[in-house]
Chain A
């Protein structure tokens, strides 16, 4: 197949190695940034918020103890935000997650407290309940065609009601230690006394090495496919940044009680869901559906099945968040999970989701959730009341999305 008028596509403007450093590097950096303004923008904003509260709280914010605290405090919102991001990318919304969190935590409590289930079995059953609830909603949305707003609004009422029916107004506690550890536990202490948490150090080294290896492998494969890559010095800088970030995070966690169990869960989810959305066919179909449903359907995307799966996934994640929440509270209570859906939706939008679907990343949802979480924690540390916290969080949401729209309009797309 030889084309008619092929002027050779201008070769990738890869900077000549070594030469013309400043200008070429800056352009490459700008290009890399520009492709993902909202996400990088939010990362920068997160950094600024951290610095601001670190100063304002006289260094309390980044104390190892408080960092662990932030992670555990926000874990369930972050888990929900990841699922919510996928729902929003698919062009839907889920208002029921808060109620589903409550329902699942109530069911887990009933199983463990009233019926003495061993906690792993209770956890597994909880996740199944979540999947079933997601499948129920997904059925109405995908196969019957009722708008997700309506179906999940109904779900919000139904699951909240079921929670109260199951609990009969009681608060059920306590849970087995193993279950509590899901939210409150840390990796066990082992090895010699080094002043640091050994397992955490080991894991930190592994993660760091793995990330570096992956960067190196990617770069090599990209070169072998003759794709354009970051200029070498910039790439080294990127690697150095990765190493620095891993080292700082590892030391911080290792100097307290080590890595919280829930952080491992979240990291696992982030890697898994991020990978699925980027590299697995079904994830790519989610983006295509959200971007242009008609075009995706005409390209052979099975829109009903994909939509269904998105809601099943949301159900499972809601169940997981429900278990984490119950474990953290060490109780199943009727009022669990109130307003969680709105926090999760806000996190997704701050993290770069688009109201009309098709745009966003799971990583972005985590950043958005962390922005909210750090704000919460920081404002509590400096003694701002929850009344002010609400106002400020609302304004941050407005500003984040407003900035994005302004930025898009300026770019003229």
Chain B
């Protein structure tokens, strides 16, 4: 891939990125969340069609112009996404040949005998020979489902396999099996792009690693001297160190500025506003998995506390489950507000206790996109606007106008449909909505995701102001400079567990990244 540039409205996701993968090579791609890894893979696999990006893709020496994913699969490029794309109620065999059915040529009648025979052969190749092809996908574990995905890729005569975080949901044993399999494919000449946050995995299996940061290629490094294919367990064989990779991942110029903070000087400054103790939550569907595992945190009034972690670390799950158990299956843990145990079983309970959660996914969980700015802002606090049983329309309008001014929401009128605003302004609407609810504790989940630098500064200012007024703020963010610039203290999470607590004075990107990539044994 040569000088790939891809822009989304308002954001440049990839700028002049290059990536070269040799035949029979395992090539790792790493970078922070939002560095552009997934976008790059979507360009390569035709999810973003030819013409929607600049630059060119050469495959086996020929330029390619993939219109869609089928076109890239026809050339032998197959991508396996982090979220598995299997139909749970169909059998393994049906899933393997979905969209690619073994059928008679003219009438397209599915040949079941051929389907089952071929599926069994593929299952044997990925080490799932013991499973019957007729088994429903829903009835096998996640690790095996991942292998079914790979069998599906093999059925398409894959030459280049792209794996996006393949081991994120797997336990150690399944991960090891999967990595072994990838190595075996390499020996058969299948090239593989491996996107992973787990640096130890990269060191084990990859030949080379390309690091992306802020949509640019930073560098490509050989994992082992000479790039040979060693047996891969070698510490101390002079290979690439994890620290070297981390440095490349985070070493960015600080191009954001942060507003100065004013300390809160109220009488109750420094008292603990929110404490979460021993919080454990299981995955809503896969009850075997603990997505949040025995996490305890506390936040004081006037304090901004960060939570750092990579994708799947359990940050959002922690926040949402504390906010009225809106995620997963609660297992254990206590929430204390101002030192007293608080019953926050439902969202209205949480709101009553002064907790607000600003979601990372404003379009799905934050806003009613087809309604206007005013009604979105007032939704959680409508009862406050009640006069003699009915919502005071004029007062409501005044409140909304107030937030339009104080948060600088750029919209012609507060009656504008929220879906028409830019991302930054939508985010301000979500913030306004919860500020008006007047909470004492704000859980802010990626409040600056997908918005431009100017809007970010405004959001930081609002956050700083909230803390200066004595609110307790929890800031979840994937951008380490943001955490370092805003927070008094930063917790780190990995695989559902708390892996560190770093005061601002001691925090650097390297320290945080080290904690965030700490491999915790996943024995959930």
Chain A residues with CB under 8 Å of chain B are: 1-9, 12, 35, 221-222, 225, 227-228, 275, 278-281, 284-285, 287-288, 291-292, 294-302, 354, 358-359, 413
Contacts and interface: CB of A to CB of B under 8 A. Distances in A.
B121 interface: no
B394 A225 contact: yes
B407 A3 contact: yes
Contact of B391 (A279, A300, A301): A279
Given A4-B458, A302-B348, 19 more contacts: A1-B465, A3-B408, A6-B405, A6-B406, A8-B405, A227-B401, A228-B413, A279-B391, A281-B391, A285-B379, A287-B375, A291-B368, A294-B365, A295-B366, A295-B367, A296-B379, A299-B433, A300-B347, A300-B380
B107 to A, nearest CB: 35
Interface of B: 259, 323-324, 326, 347-348, 350-351, 357, 359, 364-371, 375, 379-380, 382-383, 386, 389-391, 393-395, 397-398, 401, 404-408, 413, 415, 417, 419-420, 433, 457-458, 461, 465
A365 B137 CA distance: 46
Contacts of A1: 406, 465
A284 B375 contact: yes
A311 B393 CA distance: 26
Contact of B390 (A4, A275, A300): A275
Contacts of B350: 300
A60 B420 CA distance: 47
The 8 closest A-B pairs by CB, nearest first: A291-B368, A299-B380, A279-B390, A292-B368, A281-B382, A300-B351, A4-B461, A300-B348
B370 A359 contact: yes
Contacts of A284: 375, 379, 382, 391
Contacts of A295: 359, 364-368
A300 B352 CA distance: 9
A227 B259 CA distance: 33
Instruction: Pick the most buried of B347, B433, B457: most chain A CB atoms within 10 A of its CB.
Output: B347
Given A4-B408, A297-B326, A279 B369 contact: no
Given A299-B347, A299-B433, A413-B417, A358 B382 contact: no
B404 A9 contact: yes
Contact of A358 (B370, B413, B433): B370
A298 B323 contact: yes
A221 B259 CA distance: 39
A278 B419 CA distance: 21
Contacts of A225: 394-395, 397-398
A225 B401 CA distance: 10
Contact of A221 (B383, B394, B406): B394
A279 to B, nearest CB: 4
22 contacts: A3-B405, A4-B259, A7-B408, A227-B394, A279-B391, A280-B389, A284-B375, A285-B379, A285-B382, A287-B368, A288-B371, A288-B379, A292-B364, A294-B365, A295-B367, A297-B347, A298-B324, A298-B359, A299-B347, A299-B433, A300-B348, A413-B419
Nearest to B464: A4
A299 B347 CA distance: 7
A281 B382 CA distance: 6
Contacts of A299: 347, 379-380, 433
Contacts of B415: 35
A12 B326 CA distance: 40
Nearest to B361: A294
Nearest to B382: A281
Contacts of A227: 394, 397-398, 401
A64 B453 CA distance: 66
Contacts of A4: 259, 408, 457-458, 461
Instruction: Pick the most buried of A1, A275, A300: most chain B CB atoms within 10 A of its CB.
Output: A300
Nearest to B380: A299
Contacts of A298: 323-324, 326, 347, 357, 359, 365-366
